[in-house]
Amino acid sequence: MILALDTSAAISAAAVADDGTVLAAEAFDAPRSHAELLAPMVQRIVEAAGERPEAIVVGTGPAPFTGLRVGLVTAATLGHAWGVEVHGVCSLDGIGLRHADATVVTDARRHEVYWARYEGGRRVEGPAVDRPHDVPIPGGVVGAGVSLYPDAFDGEAAALAAADLVAVWRRDSAEGIADFPLEPLYLRRPDVHGAPRP
Amino acid sequence: MEPLVLGIESTCDETGVALVRGTELLADVTASSMDEHARFGGIVPEVASRAHLQAFLPTLTAALDKAGATLDDVDAVAVATGPGLVGSLTVGTAAAKALAVALGKPLYGVNHVIGHAVVDELVHGEFPERTMALVVSGGHTSLLLFEDSGATVTELGHTLDDAAGEAFDKVGRLLGLPYPGGPHVDRLAREGNPQAIPFPRALTAPKDMAKHRYDFSFSGLKTAVARWIEAREDAGEEIPVADVCASFADAVADVLSAKTIAACAEHGVTTLVVGGGFSANSQLRDLIAARGEAAGLDVRIPPLRFCTDNGAMIAALGSKVARTGVEASRLDVGVDSSMSLTSVTA
Ligand SMILES: [Zn+2]
C-alpha cells in the first residue's frame, strides 16, 4: 500500500494498493485547517487500509506557504518513523495526468495563479506563478483557477485526488526517474517584514 | 520507570527537540535560523517557517542519537502549540502529530511560556506546592503563579506593551547598536552608572498599582530614553552610552524585581523561578537574587542554556503533565498564536 498526501490546496489523503486500487481516500476543502485535520485523516486512512504503507507520496506544491508545509513535514516524519521512503511529486502533475492537453491553474492568492502545461498527461512547461491573464493557454484549462478567474479561464475546475500523485510517481519511476525531491515548490520569495524576537 | 517524553519547540526561529525522563534531561538539540533574520532587523515569519521544515528531521535524529534512544523508546510526544508565530508553530505541531500517529503514542500540546518556567524542574527539581515564576524574553513578560505543584497556573500580570527583551532591542537600535541590540545594551550597561539618569518606573504609582499591580509597561520607558538622547543631541552634547544603558537597564530590572518579589509576599510563595531568554540580563539576575534573598525567597534561575527557546522546556512540561496524568491532546488540536497562559495544555 502507498500512502498519498497533499496539502497544496484542499487537505487530501489516500491509500493506494499495488494494483492502483484506491483502498481509502478523504479530502476536506478547509484551506486554513491543514494542521488540525491532516493527522487524524492519515490515521483513519491507514486504519481503513489495514496495513502500514510501503512508501509515501506527497504533493510538493506549488502552494501558498503554511498549508503546504503541513503535508511535507507530516510525510517526511511519518516516513522517518515508519522507515519507509517518501517521494515528492509536483501537485499540479496529479491534475495534469488526467487531462491529455491542458494548462492546470490553481490558487496562488494575491490575484495570481500557479500553473503548468501538460501534453499527454506530462508536464511540458511550468510550474510557475503569474497573474491569470499572463498565463499562456494554447489548449484547455483545468483546476481551481477556472472558478476563481472566469474572465481569464474557460474550462473545468477539477481538484487534485491524492491517489493520482501515486499514479504520477509510478509512471515516472517506471520510466527511470529516480529522484522525487521533497523540496517545497514555493515559487515566491518570503515577504520580508521582521517581527520582534520572543 | 517514568515515561520518556520527546519535546518539540518551534514557536519562533528555533527548532528544538529534547528527550526527558522524569526530570532528567537526556538530550536537547536546537537549530536556529537566527542568522538568516539578522539582516532584516527582526524575525521574518516565512523565513523561520521554511527553516523549521528543513531543520526538523536532522534535529530529531541528532537528539535521539545524543540520548542513545530510538523512536520506539518514546512514550509520549509533547509540542508547543502556542503562543508564537502561526507558521512556525504549524510545522512543529504537524511533525509532532505525525510522530504520535506513526508511534501510536499520546500527544501533548503544551504552552511555550509555561515551559519557560517548568524547564527549571530539570535543574532544581520538581516545583513545590506553590511557585511564582517570572518569564521574561524578547516576546514575553509574564508573572505566573503555579499552584497544586504546578497543575494550576494563574497569570497575575504581563506587559501591556513591549516585552522586556524587546525594549532592550529597541533601545539598542536608538543607540545605533547592531541587531539584536539587547545583549549589547546589557554589556554596555555593566560599564555605566545605573543612577546617572532617573528614567521612569512605569505602573508603580499608587493609582496604577490599583489596576495594574502585577502588570508591566516598557514602551514609555523606551520613549523616555529616546527623548533624553534627542535632547542631548539637540544640545550638541555627547551621549554617555554606557550610562544610558545602565540607567535604562536599572529601570527595567527595578520594576521587574520589585513587582515580582511583592507578588511572592502577597501570595505567600517562597519559591521564585525566573525563566526566558531575558533572564540572562545581568542587572535583573543580580537585583532579583539580592532582593529575593533579603525577602527570604528561594530564587531559582536556571543556567542560560535552559532559558532560551529549546526543546528541553517543552519536554520538561510534557513530562510534568504526562507524570501527573493530564489527559492527552486530541489529534485535531490546532495551533494558537495567542494561547492563554492559564492553559498548560491544549
Ligand atoms: Zn520563548
**Digits of tens for pLDDT over chain A (198 positions)?**
999 999 999 999 999 999 999 999 999 988 788 899 999 999 999 999 999 999 999 999 999 888 999 999 999 999 999 999 999 999 999 999 988 799 999 999 999 999 999 999 999 999 999 999 999 999 999 999 999 999 999 999 999 999 999 999 999 999 999 899 999 999 988 776 555 444
User: Residues 286..315 of B with a Cβ closer than 8 Å to A: which?
Assistant: 309
pLDDT value of residue A193? 56
Q: Is the pLDDT at B42 greater than 80, yes or no?
A: no
- Residue B331 domain-assigned (yes or no): no
pLDDT the model gives residue B33: 79
**CB contacts, 8 Å: A190 with chain B:** 44, 46-47, 50
- Give the whole-angstrom CA distance, residue B100 versus residue B95: 9
Per-residue pLDDT band at B162 (split at 50, 70, 90): very high
**Pick from A72, A184, A197: CB nearest B165:** A197
pLDDT at position A30, please?
Answer: 84
Nearest-Cα distance to chain A for B267, in Å, is 28
Domain assignment present for A68: yes
Do the domain assignments include residue B342? no
Q: Do B115 and B247 have their domain in common?
A: no
Longest Cα–Cα distance in chain A: 52
Q: How far, in Å, is the centroid of ligand 1 from the Cα of B61?
A: 23
Residues B139 and B114 in one domain: no
The answer, as to whether pTM is greater than 0.80, is: yes
Closest CA to B96 of B206, B3, B15: B15
Residues of B in contact with A184 (CB under 8 A): 50, 53
What ipTM, to 2 d.p.?
A: 0.94
Total domains in the fold of chain B: 2
Q: Residue A70: its chain B contacts at CB < 8 A?
A: 90-91, 94
The answer to whether B53 contacts A69, with C-beta atoms less than 8 Å apart, is yes
Strands B76-82 and B152-158: unpaired
How far is Cα A160 from Cα A27, in angstroms, rounded to an integer? 9
Instruction: Write the CATH number for A36.
Output: 3.30.420.40
What's the half-sphere exposure (Cβ side, CA atoms, 13 Å) at A47? 9
On whether residue A97 sits in a domain, the answer given is no
Which chain A residue's Cα is nearest to B309? A198
Q: Does the residue B336 lie in any domain?
A: no
Å from CA of A9 to ligand 1 middle: 31
A155 found inside a domain: no
Give the model's pLDDT for residue B34.
80
Q: In this complex, which of A37, A72, A191 lies closest to B332 when CB atoms are compared?
A: A37
Examine the domain organization and report whether B137 and B40 are in the same domain.
Answer: no
B12 plus B139 within the same structural domain:
no
pLDDT tier, B35 (very low <50, low <70, confident <90, very high otherwise)? confident
Q: CB-based contact (8 Å) between B53 and chain A?
A: yes
Q: How far is CA B317 from CA B134, B138, B326, B339, in A?
A: 16, 21, 11, 15
Residue of A nearest to B60 (CA): A77
Ligand 1 centroid–CA B12 distance in Å is 8
Q: What is the mean pLDDT of chain B?
A: 95
The C-alpha atoms of residue B14 and residue B70 are separated, in whole angstroms, by 23
CATH number of the domain that residue B12 is part of: 3.30.420.40
Mutate to test the interface with A, among B90, B113, B114, B279 (most CBs of A within 10 A): B90
Instruction: Kindly report, residue by residue over B163-200, the tens digit of the pLDDT.
Output: 999 999 999 999 999 888 999 999 999 999 999 999 99
Nearest chain A alpha carbon to B71: A81
Same domain? For B173 and B201 the reply is yes
Inter-residue contact B257 to B282 (CB < 8 Å): no
What chain A residue is nearest to B330 in terms of C-alpha separation? A40
CB < 8 Å to B84, chain A = 198
Residue B44: left if φ>0, alpha if ψ -120 to 50, beta else—which one? beta
Chain B window 186-225: which residues touch A at a Cβ cutoff of 8 Å?
none
Q: Which residues contact B126 (CB under 8 A, 6 or more apart)?
A: B23, B149, B150, B320
Q: Domain check: are B165 and B277 in the same one?
A: yes
Residue A198, pLDDT score = 45
Please tell me the distance between residue B252's alpha carbon and the centre of ligand 1 in angstroms: 19
Residue of B17, B46, B114 best to disrupt the A interface, most CBs of A under 10 A? B46
Query: Do B102 and B154 reside in the same domain of the chain?
Result: no
Q: What confidence score (pLDDT) does residue A183 get?
A: 95
Contacts of A177 (CB under 8 A, 6+ apart): none
Residues B96 and B36 in one domain: yes
Within-domain flag for A25: yes
Percent of chain B past pLDDT 90, that is, above it, reads 89
Q: How many domains does chain A have?
A: 1
Q: What is the pLDDT of residues B93-112, one digit of tens each?
A: 999 999 999 999 999 999 99
Does B231 fall in a domain? yes
CB-based contact B90 A70, cutoff 8 Å? yes
The reported pLDDT for the residue numbered A192 is 63
**In the predicted model, is pLDDT for residue B49 greater than 90?**
yes
Domain of residue A29, residue span = 2-91
Bridge partners of B132, per DSSP, are B145, B272
Within this chain, do residues B155 and B263 fall inside the same structural domain, yes or no?
yes
**In angstroms, how far is CA B214 from the centroid of its own chain?**
17
Interface of A with B in 170-189 (CB under 8 A): 184, 186
In this structure, the answer to whether residues B133 and B252 fall within a common structural domain is yes
Residue written as grid cell 515564576: B133
Q: Is residue A181 part of a domain?
A: no
Residue B341 inside a domain? The answer is: no
Q: Does A198 touch chain B (CB under 8 A)?
A: yes
In this complex, do B41 and A37 lie within 8 Å of one another by their Cβ atoms?
no
Quick check: is A173 in a domain? no
Q: With beta carbons under 8 A apart, name residues in chain B contacting A38.
A: 94, 97
Q: Are A181 and A88 in contact (CB under 8 A)?
A: yes
Residue B11 lies in a domain: yes
Which residue does chain A place closest to B331, by CA atoms?
A40
User: Domain range spanning residue B240?
Assistant: 127-303
Report yes or no on A147 lying in a domain. no
Secondary structure of chain A in HEC code, one letter for each residue: CEEEEECCCCEEEEEECCCCCEEEEEEECCCCCHHHHHHHHHHHHHHHHCCCCCEEEEECCCCCHHHHHHHHHHHHHHHHHHCCEEEEECHHHHHHCCCCEEEEEEECCCCCEEEEEEECCEEEEEEEEECHHHCCCCCEEECCHHHHCCCCCCCECCCCCHHHHHHHHHHHHHCCCCCCCCCCCCCCCCCCCCECCC
For residues B66 and B135, state if they share a domain.
no
Instruction: Say whether both B217 and B285 belong to one domain.
Output: yes
Examine residue B12 and state whether it is found in any structural domain, yes or no. Answer: yes
Of A35, A43, A81, the CB nearest to B335: A35
**Domain for residue B40, yes or no?**
yes
